Amino acid sequence: MSIDHDRLFKELLQIFFKEFMELFFPKACSFIDFSHVTFLSEELFTDVMGGATGRVDVLIETRLLEEEVGNRGGMGDTDKALIIVHLEPQSYYQINFSERMFLYSSKLYEKYRRRILPIAIFNHEREAQEPDNFSWHFPFLSVMTFRYFTVQLSKHNWREFLDKDNPVAAALLSSMGYNKSERVMVKLEFLRMMMKMQLDPARMRILTVFFETYLQLTPAENIQLQENIERIYPHEEEKLMEWMTSWEKKGKEEGLQEGLLKGKEEGIQESKQEIALKMLEKGLNPEIIEELTGLSSSQISKLQKH
């Protein structure tokens, strides 16, 4: 089953945009007015020459804090405090990615006439450092250098984020640099971070689903996890096990509820089909049956063939 990387990152960034900026770009974060954050609709751009179509994944309109702006920015007074943050998660290596970032940002600027803050998030395991700029020059003139922020998750050691009281740090532990023998400890530290933050159930679910999509323990590793809790954190064992149990119970209850709802919907659909079949047997007009049952004409046609 393929992973929808874009959807997972989009959901994480939309809910925890401020926490993401605080974690990776604290200096930029100090300039942003987070009381003014609007998520814009996705932008679809076509590369006419290359023949490819691309989508900007997360587009955010925000403002710079007035006291930080001053007279800098080089734009008109009415526009100087407004920026567009372009976040682009990338789950695979792409040789011309920096060019694509430049083209997207250029087209966003062309449309909005606002300063663009481009950020690329790399979630692949390639060892080489990803570029953070795109430029062109001649022997006699350097024409242009376009730069953007990057977060290459595999280059970050997961242990460096354990003391961060930050939900994004907890979720991204699963995508950071660790070796196979550390998988169980990564999960254990994720649980400890989640337990300490005491988030509401909705946010907790987003973080847990994200984490477990990229790091799911085997049954043997789950046994090892429980042993490590007892051995390494004996004073926190009761709380950790209680948190895990309540979370698993909640997940099962939600799964059961979804299953019952699905079964109920399927049962209603079957009942409609049975009624429609009896109507057809009595020679009732299919259009009338469609109106009375709410079934589509194609569904009624299939029933006629039986």
CA–CA gap between residue 70 and residue 13 (Å, rounded): 29
- Provide the 10 A C-beta neighbour count for residue 266: 10
Parallel, antiparallel, or unpaired for β 115-122 and 133-138? unpaired
> 5 or 262, which is more confident?
5
Asked which of 3-12, 70-79, 224-233, 235-244 is least confident by mean pLDDT, the reply is: 70-79
Backbone angles phi, psi at 179, to 5 degrees: -100, 170
pTM of the model: 0.72
Cβ atoms of residues 56 and 42 within 8 Å: yes
Distance CA 259, CA 265 (A): 10
Task: Give the per-residue pLDDT at 168.
Answer: 96
Lowest mean pLDDT among 111-115, 146-150, 167-171, 294-298: 294-298
Mean pLDDT of the chain: 78
> Using CA atoms, how far apart are residues 173 and 158, in angstroms rounded to an integer?
5
pLDDT in tens, 47-87: 544 545 555 678 888 888 865 555 455 544 444 445 777 76
Q: Cβ(6)–Cβ(56) under 8 Å?
A: no
pLDDT for the residue numbered 108? 85
User: For the segment 236-245, what is each residue's pLDDT rounded down to a tens digit?
Assistant: 877 777 766 6
CB 208 within 8 A of CB 251: no
Pairing of strands 115-122, 149-152: parallel
**CA 64, CA 79: separation in Å to the nearest integer?**
11
- Which band of pLDDT confidence, cut at 50, 70 and 90, is reported for residue 2? low
Residue 306 to residue 304: CA distance in whole angstroms: 6
State the average pLDDT over residues 230-255.
68
CB 147 within 8 A of CB 132: yes
The two beta strands, 141-147 and 133-138, are antiparallel
Q: Are 171 and 210 in contact (CB under 8 A)?
A: yes
What does each C-alpha distance from 37 to 14, 32, 77, 85 come to in angstroms?
A: 10, 9, 20, 10
